[in-house]
């Protein structure tokens, strides 16, 4: 019988407080997911590391701290363990050739798809590593992962899916929806103001500011192909809030920030609430697509699933 092990999680919410890139719902997303992990999926709260960029947080979600938490989780993992990483915050494209995907920590020290691939390659055989990224351009965040639901996927008949309430019924003028995306040019301008180096090569700025703590995409480009080569059967599972060419939305929060949320995170929570029985990864993502398609306030946003064929049919977080 396959060993059933411990459940470990890293939850990261970046609202980028006191910056021009302010979001409102990212802290709420990870706090709500923490409750679901504990109350529905049996995670021990002591095995959930929560990183939020709010005043008084003991550990801020910088690039270094996020990668440290993820690597620590993988270091502790054994066969049969369930690992879960939830990121809610800004995403971007790196500006490098082929426009690689990245998430943006609170200090702008990119965590790229190459970094994520390097971490996933270390997951022990027989453990599973699920990543939910509620950020713009998040499709493909685990580099070279197989697309199960994405740009080439055909939509199912809607009557195969349960009806869900429209989350954004309010039509008041206070309604708020903001893309969780910072353009590459904007970040380049920000980094240039810090380094005073006149170059459009973002890697140069990253290495100047963060040194060896910068993404391996910038520090070790010659080893990129070796890093991306899976050394064993791949256990990485990515639920992305949108396709690589799309933007996720941060919703609400102008008058009451406690009601703000990331559209994808909230869609996942709605589906889990409406489906008490165990649900597969593929079904969870398809139903979250349906939730967003029926929200009149959400701009085009299509959640995706990237993983092996076997994991696509597996139960979300091995529930049941």
CA-CA distance, 226 to 16, in Å (whole number)?
A: 34
Is there a contact between 264 and 303 (Cβ–Cβ < 8 Å)?
yes
Contact 8, 47 (CB under 8 A): yes
Here the tokens at position 128 are 């599973």
Give the active site residue among 14, 26, 106, 136. 136
302 among known catalytic residues: no
The residue annotated as part of the active site, out of 27, 86, 90, 137, is 90
Q: Which residues of 172-186 are buried (b: 16+ CB within 10 A; e: fewer)?
A: eeeebebbbbbebee
Give the CA diameter of the chain: 59
Distance CA 234, CA 239 (A): 15
The answer to whether 90 is a known catalytic residue is: yes
Instruction: Tell me how far apart the alpha carbons of residues 136 and 186 are, in angstroms, rounded to a whole number.
Output: 15
- Between strands 82-88 and 261-262, the pairing is unpaired
Helix (H, G, I), strand (E, B) or coil at 229: coil
Catalytic residue IDs: 90, 136
């Amino acid at each position: 019988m396959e060993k059933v092990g411990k459940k470990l999680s890293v939850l990261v919410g970046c609202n980028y407080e006191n910056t021009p890139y302010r979001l409102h719902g990212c802290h709420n997303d990870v706090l709500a997911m923490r409750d679901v992990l504990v109350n529905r999926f049996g995670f021990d709260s002591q095995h959930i590391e929560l990183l939020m960029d709010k005043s008084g947080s003991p550990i801020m979600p910088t690039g270094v701290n996020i990668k440290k938490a993820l690597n620590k989780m993988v270091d502790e993992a054994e066969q049969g363990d369930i690992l879960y990483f939830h990121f809610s915050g800004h995403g971007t494209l790196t500006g490098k050739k082929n426009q690689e995907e990245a998430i943006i920590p609170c200090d702008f020290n990119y965590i790229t798809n190459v970094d994520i691939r390097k971490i996933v390659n270390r997951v022990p055989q027989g453990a599973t590593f699920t990543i939910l990224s509620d950020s713009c351009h998040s499709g493909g965040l685990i580099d070279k992962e197989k697309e199960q639901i994405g740009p080439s996927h055909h939509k199912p008949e809607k009557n195969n899916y349960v009806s869900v309430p429209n989350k954004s019924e309010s039509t008041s003028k206070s309604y708020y929806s903001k893309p969780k995306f910072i353009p590459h040019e904007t970040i380049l301008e920000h980094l240039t103001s810090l380094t005073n180096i006149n170059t459009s090569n973002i890697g140069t700025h990253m290495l100047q500011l963060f040194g060896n703590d910068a993404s391996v995409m910038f520090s070790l480009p010659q080893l990129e192909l070796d890093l991306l080569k899976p050394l064993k059967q791949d256990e990485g599972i990515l639920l992305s809030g949108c396709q690589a060419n799309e933007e996720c939305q941060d919703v609400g929060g102008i008058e009451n920030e406690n009601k703000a949320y990331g559209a994808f995170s909230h869609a996942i929570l709605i589906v889990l609430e409406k489906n008490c029985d165990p649900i597969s990864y593929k079904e969870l993502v398809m139903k979250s697509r349906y939730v967003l398609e029926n929200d009149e306030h959400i701009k085009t946003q299509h959640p995706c699933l990237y993983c092996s064929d076997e994991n696509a049919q597996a139960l979300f977080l091995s529930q049941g």
